[in-house]
Structure 1
Amino acid sequence: MTIALRGAALSPGVYGYDDLSVGDWIDAGSTPVTAAHIDQFAAVSGDHYALHMDEAFAASKGFGGRVAHGLLVLSMVDGLKNNASARLDGLVSMGWNWRFDAPVLAGDVIHADLTIVGKRTTKSGTKGILRTQFDVTNQRGILVQSGLNELLFAL
C-alpha cells in the first residue's frame, strides 16, 4: 500500500497539524526484533502460542525461526514513530487499519516510513485529524506490515 507521490522527507523537529502537507513523510528509523522482545510481549499479553515461543514448532510450520507477534511489531512501529527525529505533535491515536503482510522473525530488523495521506478538521474546528500511511519493511526490503493510522491534533 505504498504511496506513489511523496514530498520531501521531513527534517528533524516537532510538527503540528498546520506544519504538515499531504505527501510529507517521515523516516521513522529501524529497530531489531529480538527473541527477548517476543518473550516479554508474551509475558505481558498472555499470548504464548508456540509459533512465537518454540523454534522447532515454527520450523515445523515452514518458518525460519520464531515469529514475532503481529501486535508486538505494530507496537514497535508506534515506538519508532514517537521517537523519530521528525515527530508529530498529535494528541491521541484514533485508530489503526493494519495488515500483517509477511512474518517478522526473531533477529529481523524492521524499518518504518510514514507518509501523510490526508488531513481534515473536526466539525468544531478546534481539532485536526491527520491520516498517515505506514510501510514497514525488514532488513531485506520486504514489506512485512502496512496500514493507516489517524491522529488527533489540537489546532
Structure 2
Amino acid sequence: MERKRRLDHRSYTYDDLLPGDWFATPELVVEASHIDRFAELSGDFFDIHMSDAAAQKLGFPRRVVHGLLVLSLADGLKNQSSSRLEAVASLGWNWSFNRPVFAGDTIHAVITVLDKRPTTKPERGIARLQFEVTNQKGEMVQSGTNELMMLRAWIAGSD
C-alpha cells in the first residue's frame, strides 16, 4: 500500500480515515526487564529469552525478545501515539516475525490504513491496518495486519 496522507496529532474515527493514511509511533527501547515481566505473565521461560548464554549457544548475540511481546509492544505504541484511533476492539492479526529483536533494541512502527468497511452496527466500522515494525537499524523485524473495530464520527462525538 502506498502511503499518502500522514495523520496529524489528534484523534481519528473510522470516518476520518482513508486508505493510504499513515502515522509513526513513538520509539521504545526493549529492556531485559520487559522480557522478564512478559515471561512471568505468559509463562514462557524458554532459555533463548531468559539467558544471554543460551541465546549465544544458538548463534544470537544476546537474549531474544519474545515475538508476541514485540507484537504487544507495537500495539501499545500505536495506542501511545499522538495520532490516536477511536478504537472499540481488535478483531484479529495476521502477523510475521521477520527478524529477531534483542534486549536493548529500539523499536517503532509505521501504521498504514489499508482499507475499511462498515459493519452491521451503524455506529462502528472496521479498518484494516498494516504494521511495519523496525529496529534502530531500520530493519523490519515484524510486520502484518490488524483488523480494528472503530467508532464512527457521529457516535464518537456524542456523550
Q: TM-score range by the shorter chain?
A: over 0.9
Distance apart, 1:153 and its partner CA: 1.7
Paired position in structure 2 for 1:99 = 96
- Cα separation, 2, equivalents of 1:67 and 1:143: 15
Alignment of 1:6-21 (within 5 A): 6-21=3-18
Paired position in structure 1 for 2:78 = 81
3-state SS, counterpart of residue 117 of structure 1: strand
Alignment of 1:23-102 (within 5 A): 23-102=20-99
Distance apart, 1:112 and its partner CA: 0.5
Q: Deviations over 1:9-30 (max 9, x none)?
A: 1110000011110000011121
Paired position in structure 1 for 2:156 = none
Q: Which amino acid aligns with 2:66?
A: H
Structure 1 unpaired stretches of 5+: none
Percent of residue pairs identical = 51
TM-score by length of 1: 0.95
- Cα separation, 2, equivalents of 1:7 and 1:55: 42
TM-score by length of 2: 0.93
Q: Which amino acid aligns with 2:35?
A: I
Q: CA RMSD of the aligned region, Å? A: 0.9
Paired position in structure 1 for 2:116 = 119
Structure 2 unpaired stretches of 5+: 153-159
Q: Deviations over 1:50-94 (max 9, x none)?
A: 000011110010101100000111111011000100010011100
3-state SS, counterpart of residue 136 of structure 2: coil
Q: How many residues align?
A: 152
